Amino acid sequence: MATVAKRAREKWFSAHIVLVIVPKVRANRAAVDVWENIVLIKAVNAAAAKRKAASIGRLHARRSKADASIEFRGVRAVVDVLPSPTGKAKWNEILESGAEVSCNKLQFASSREFSRFMKMLRAKAELLW
């Protein structure tokens, strides 16, 4: 019965998972290519959602001998997903934890700018798509 009670307390969060593309052949440039994947997480609170998101981020990381590796760099933010203002939405029944909501590909001029981004500070970045 504890599991049923826990599920009843769970709510939806969106988590911003940050992955960095690391090319095998590094050009002489300071730019950092980043994917920010926004995924849905169902959890009892934001801390639990962040742990689940980090686990998903580690699953997305991959090593490549050919072109580039993808490194998980952290969960930048966890945000409540609010229900429909009318209260009539049925979408909550069909969402799945870990479903990707959106994705951004960003390029930072330097690792310092990327570091500022991860700390939720103002950073210079180019949105590639």
Q: 69-97 pLDDT, tens per residue?
A: 889 999 988 988 765 555 555 555 556 66
- For the chain, the average pLDDT equals 80
Q: What is the DSSP letter of 119?
A: T
Q: Is the pTM of this model over 0.85?
A: no
At 27 the pLDDT is: 64
> What is the per-residue pLDDT for 90?
55
What's the pLDDT score for residue 46?
A: 92
Q: Report the range out of 20-29, 30-39, 84-93, 97-106 with the highest average pLDDT.
A: 30-39
User: Which segments within 68-128 are labelled E, that is strand?
Assistant: 68-80, 100-108, 125-127
- Give the separation between CA 50 and CA 76, rounded to whole angstroms: 9
C-alpha angle 105-24-68 in degrees, rounded to nearest 5: 40
- Is the pLDDT at 17 greater than 60, yes or no? yes
| pLDDT at position 32 | 82
Strand partners, 78: 15
Residue 20 pairs in a beta bridge with 34, 71
